[in-house]
């Protein structure tokens, strides 16, 4: 995401957070290679860690954030994996189809040259 500073952005803290997150994700990647690792719970852990660091980044940088298309695709993909990990249910199937459609539409928009305004993520 791109940042538009509202207040002084503590860049060193944001960089440190990114480094810590990357190291944690590397640990998860390593755990994924072990056959005894429960992949469903590992994906849930990954999702929670990524959401936690997004929240931490938001708390530290105090910026207005604009989601970039590639990041939106990553969030859609992450959401799809989370929904799939919940098991089989008609409502979950509907959610999965909706996420697939959203990803497809966003890819079409990107391929068409990204017309229109940036996607704005409102402040909490």
What tens digit of pLDDT does each residue of 58-98 get?
A: 777 755 555 566 777 778 888 888 888 888 888 888 888 88
**Would you tell me the crossing angle of helices 39-61 and 69-85 to the nearest 10 degrees?**
140
Averaged pLDDT for residues 16-34: 89
Q: What is the pTM of this model?
A: 0.43
Residue 8: domain span: 2-121
How far, in Å, are 42, 84, 92, 96 from residue 89 at the CA level?
21, 10, 5, 10
Count of domains for the chain: 1
Task: Tell me what pLDDT residue 34 has.
Answer: 94
Task: List helix spans (H) across 1-124.
Answer: 11-32, 39-61, 69-85, 90-111
Q: What per-residue confidence (pLDDT) applies to 14? A: 75
């Amino acid at each position: 995401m791109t940042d538009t500073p509202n207040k002084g952005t503590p860049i060193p803290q944001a960089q440190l957070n990114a480094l810590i997150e990357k190291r944690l994700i590397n640990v998860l990647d390593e755990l994924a290679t072990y056959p005894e690792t429960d992949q469903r719970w590992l994906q849930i852990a990954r999702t929670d860690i990524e959401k936690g660091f997004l929240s931490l980044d938001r708390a530290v940088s105090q910026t207005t954030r604009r989601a970039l298309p590639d990041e939106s695709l990553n969030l859609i993909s992450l959401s799809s994996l989370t929904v799939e990990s919940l098991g089989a249910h008609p409502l979950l199937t509907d959610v999965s189809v909706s996420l697939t459609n959203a990803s497809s539409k966003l890819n079409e928009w990107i391929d068409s040259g990204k017309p229109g305004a940036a996607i704005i993520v409102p402040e909490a």
